[in-house]
A and B are shown apart, each in its own frame.
Chain A
Amino acid sequence: MAAIVRAWKLVLSMIVLGALAAEALPVFAHGERAQEPYLRTRTAHWYDVTWSADKLSVNQEIVVTGKFRLYSDWPDAVQLPETVFVSNATPGPVFARVDSYLNGVPARQSFRDLEVGRDYEYKMVLRARIPGRYHVHPMIAIKGSGPLVGPGRWINVGGTADDFNYSLTAISGEKIDDLETWGVSAALTWHSIWLVIAAAWILWWVRRPLLIPRYLALKKEREDLLTTDTDIKLGIVVLVVAVGLAFYGYNWAQSKYPRTVPLQAGTMYTPPLPVQSPVVKIRFQEAKYDVPGRSMRMVMDVTNISDKPLRLGEFATASIRFVNHQLPAAKANVAANYPAELVARNGLGISDDSEIKPGETKQIAIDATDAAWEIERLTSFLTDVDSKVGGLLFFFDPEGRRHIAEVGGPILPVFKKS
């Protein structure tokens, strides 16, 4: 007996420990790592993403802002961003969306004709609804392709879900006390009325001998017994009641809500953010991914076409940031509350970190080494049909101004450590 008890204790301990181990892993996100690397490195590059809070209570609001660059070397497999909806990725409606904007234009509906190679700025205001700990991302959904998810940050929501409230006032003056419950009691009432009538009709028939006796009587051509004159009269009444009640309900609703509008469709348009004057020309040479070293090495020729010296401060791809730790302006560009797991611990290795003088062309090799390539499941580009990589380079001038350039091209795997 004691052995059985011990065995049960052991099993329960393993279950509890297993559950705790599972709890410790960030498994409550929603599949952003499942997206193919070519998709995450060559479509929307998210930058300057901020979350206004990391802890809030139900009914408090969080503002998520940032920008994204639609990468010029857009993958063939992804539909061009001709119809795009700006959204947020959370595990279900745990946050209520209050407002959202793209380049300052309200983003309640989809946008049309976004341009690759250009930048857009978004803002979304979310109100905490369900207590818990959630991964909150900005996201754009592209018609024909699906969602492109930006970096996520864990947000803790406290309080109780019952306290959540979202009230509105209609243009026609009706006060909507709570968007979660508005109109539900009316729907339940009408559905109950119809269910009662239907149940009465069914009971009228099933209270009598039902299947076998009716089948046998019908075989003996005694249909007259099965549907009587009373039944037919009741059928007429039911027909009149069904039609009458349907149109009575319709007229009741029309008089109660005389001003209604159809669902709103259509798309919005906003021009992209103004183009920054280009300060560098990038000529991609090669890129290799060192599988055992978890390192992406890229060689490029950089020509400074501005009138100020420049230094490379950051390489960003798939929301992972490789920052040049030797450049204070680049380090300052990383917000303190940016998710640490998305900032490479070792930073960005640069073969020649000296300034690129105006007019100078310099060959630079960058070394982006971090376990994030594996953790974020970005290494499967080695088995992709479109084995190319892309990203953004952030250059900084002596005044600390940031200049963004795109870089990318084919990538080769290296399976033996060099």
Chain B
Amino acid sequence: MSPNSREILAVSELPPEGAKLSRIWDWCVVAAVALLFMGAIHLHVMLTVGDWDMFIDWKDRQFWVLVTPVSMLMIPAALQAVFWHYFRLPIGMTLGAVLLLIATWITRYVGWHLWGYFPFTMGVPATMIAGALACDAILLIVRSSLLTSTFGGFVFALLFYPSNWASLAPYFIPIEHQGMVASVADMIGYVFPRSGTPEYIRMIERGTLRTYEGTTVWISSFFAGVICIFMHMLWWRIGLAFSTQRFVDSSKRFKKFVGLA
């Protein structure tokens, strides 16, 4: 045990047996939090990001870059608030990102590959670990929720695209099919049919009057960054609100009603 750890235990005034029990409690909480939030964040992302993160041929330059980080930030931001406010642990966002990525790969393998026969290529997920690490680090450095929302929230969204492009670029090289150009991602969506998901249902970039020299993705990233600033503020407060106990005095009438007075 490091001197710092010993000092923390000393300040906490926990007796040796209490310190030992608290460590067991730590691991119980870690296991519970991991499983609970693995499911919660995955469910949340499936419901709010949905097909954008599910399918390779939805990962466009306009909406995927905007919707995904904004939605992926929510529960991790709440976790970050809880871990920081009560324990000064700057790991909430990173933990959320790690749990989501693990849960996503499990479901892509079991649900989509084994049960649904879909190839891995169709469901390569995005990750937000880079932005989450940066946001946790910023919190540790600036020690302010306001500044973390302002800089961390923005950086979280800004890092989303570049940190995922290394994984996803192979799916955007051009191929020729039936005399037309298509990306490999388009081709994967076409070759492996989803009967209930026709092509037109994709909510993807349909072209813009201004091309911004092909920089659509960076404009979307900056816009996502601005939204993430406010989203981080909101979910930080939601995290604190849902981790606060408040006891309300019961009225005499209520006590009488339940037989306590």
Q: Which A residues are within 8 Å of any B CB, using their own CB?
A: 30, 83, 85, 87-90, 92-99, 106, 108-110, 129-130, 139, 141, 143, 147, 166, 168-172, 174, 176, 179-184, 186-187, 190-191, 194-195, 197-199, 201-202, 205-206, 208-218, 220, 222-223, 225-228, 231-232, 235-236, 238-239, 241-243, 245-247, 249-250, 252-254, 256-257, 259-267
Contacts and interface: CB of A to CB of B under 8 A. Distances in A.
Contacts of A174: 173
B255 to A, nearest CB: 32
13 contacts: A90-B193, A108-B178, A108-B186, A139-B195, A166-B191, A171-B176, A180-B119, A208-B4, A212-B14, A216-B12, A225-B7, A242-B131, A260-B183
**Those 7 A-B pairs whose CB atoms lie nearest each other, nearest first:** A249-B166, A183-B170, A106-B178, A250-B162, A141-B198, A180-B119, A85-B198
A217 B60 contact: no
Interface string B201-241: 11011110000000010000000000000000000000000
B173 A259 contact: yes
Contact of B121 (A95, A143, A181, A266): A181
A179 B184 contact: yes
Given A181-B119, A201-B94, A223-B88, A239 B141 contact: yes
A392 B127 CA distance: 53
B169 interface: yes
Contact of A171 (B89, B91, B181, B198): B181
Contact of A190 (B167, B183, B191): B167
A245 B186 contact: no
Given A242-B159, A257-B172, A259-B174, A147 B195 contact: yes
Q: For A90, A215, A238, which residue has the most chain B Cβ atoms within 10 angstroms?
A: A238
A236 B141 contact: yes
Interface residues of B, number: 101
Contacts of B119: 93, 179-181
A235 B173 contact: no
Given A93-B118, A182-B121, A260 B12 contact: no
Contacts of B133: 197-198, 201, 238-239, 241-242
Contact of B22 (A197, A212, A225): A212
B193 A88 contact: yes
B101 interface: yes
Interface of B: 2, 4-5, 7-9, 11-14, 19, 22-23, 25-26, 29-30, 57-61, 86-91, 94-95, 97-98, 101-102, 105, 116-121, 124, 127, 129-134, 136-138, 140-141, 143, 155, 159, 161-163, 165-188, 190-196, 198-202, 204-207, 216
Contacts of B162: 246-247, 249-250
B213 to A, nearest CB: 14
B2 A110 contact: no
A245 to B, nearest CB: 7
A250 B162 CA distance: 5
A214 B89 contact: yes
B129 A83 contact: no
Contact of B182 (A176, A191, A264): A264
A186 B59 contact: no
Given A179-B121, A239-B133, 13 more contacts: A90-B195, A92-B195, A93-B191, A172-B174, A180-B121, A201-B91, A216-B11, A217-B8, A241-B133, A243-B159, A250-B166, A257-B172, A265-B205
A201 B136 contact: yes
A87 B87 CA distance: 55
Contacts of A217: 8, 11-12
Contact of B173 (A199, A208, A257): A257
Given A110-B200, A208-B5, A252-B166, A264 B159 contact: no
Of B101, B119, B161, B183, the most chain A CB neighbours within 10 A belong to: B119
A183 B184 CA distance: 10
Contacts of B130: 194, 242-243, 245-246
Contact of B181 (A89, A90, A264): A264
A172 B174 CA distance: 7
B11 A170 contact: no
Contact of A93 (B102, B124, B192): B192
A263 B57 contact: yes
Contacts of A238: 133-134, 136-137
Given A97-B193, A182-B121, A202-B95, A172 B173 contact: yes
A362 B207 CA distance: 56
B205 A96 contact: no
Contact of B159 (A93, A108, A184, A246): A246
Contact of B9 (A168, A209, A252): A209
Contacts of A266: 206-207
B165 A253 contact: yes
